[in-house]
């Protein structure tokens, strides 16, 4: 699924070149790695991108419902060294999942296994 977000300053100014990291978060006591349910192929746990000239970042990532064990994505938008937006998202495989969506529409609570 293509997940995306647009970053702005409080005054509405677009934030360009902001580093964004998306990391799979799971309970390592349950399994040492995350894999696709169907193929057992291990997937990369961290991906990075940056916002473009329009303050937009986007990244293609697998649905959490297709992964094992249970997981969420930890999104870190590094606006500056001292200002980081950190939140968690879960992408569910509904009967007809959307091909793309806004990250803010998938925010979930920080999981218990996250320290």
Residue-level pLDDT at 45? 84
Residue 12 lies in a domain: yes
Residue 26 domain flag: yes
Tens digit of each residue's pLDDT (9 = 90 or more) over 63-112: 998 898 999 999 999 999 899 999 999 998 775 667 889 999 999 999 99
Query: Which two structure tokens, joined as six digits, stand for 34?
Result: 């995350």
How far apart CA 70 and CA 48 sit, in angstroms, is 22
Q: What is residue 106's three-state secondary structure?
A: helix
Q: What is the mean pLDDT of residues 2-6?
A: 96
Is position 113 within any domain? Answer: no
Total tally of structural domains belonging to the chain: 1
Quote the strand ranges of the chain, DSSP E: 2-6, 19-26, 35-36, 46-50, 56-60, 67-68, 71-80, 83-89, 100-102, 107-108
47 forms beta bridges with 22
Residues of the domain holding 6: 2-108
Largest Cα–Cα separation, the chain: 47
71 inside domain: yes
Q: Which one is predicted more confidently, 35 or 57?
A: 57
65, burial (CB in 10 Å: exposed 0-12, middle 13-18, buried 19+):
middle
CATH number at residue 66: 2.60.40
Whether 114 maps to a domain, the answer reads no
């Amino acid at each position: 699924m293509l997940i995306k977000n647009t970053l702005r300053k409080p005054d509405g100014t677009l934030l360009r070149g902001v580093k964004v990291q998306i990391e799979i978060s799971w309970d390592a006591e349950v399994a040492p790695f995350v894999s696709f349910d169907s193929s057992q192929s291990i997937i990369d746990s961290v991906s990075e991108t940056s916002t473009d000239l329009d303050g937009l970042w986007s990244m293609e990532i697998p649905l959490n419902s297709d992964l094992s064990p249970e997981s969420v994505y930890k999104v870190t938008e590094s606006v500056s060294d001292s200002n980081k937006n950190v939140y968690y998202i879960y992408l569910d495989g509904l009967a007809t999942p959307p091909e793309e969506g806004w990250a803010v529409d998938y925010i979930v609570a920080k999981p218990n296994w996250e320290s």
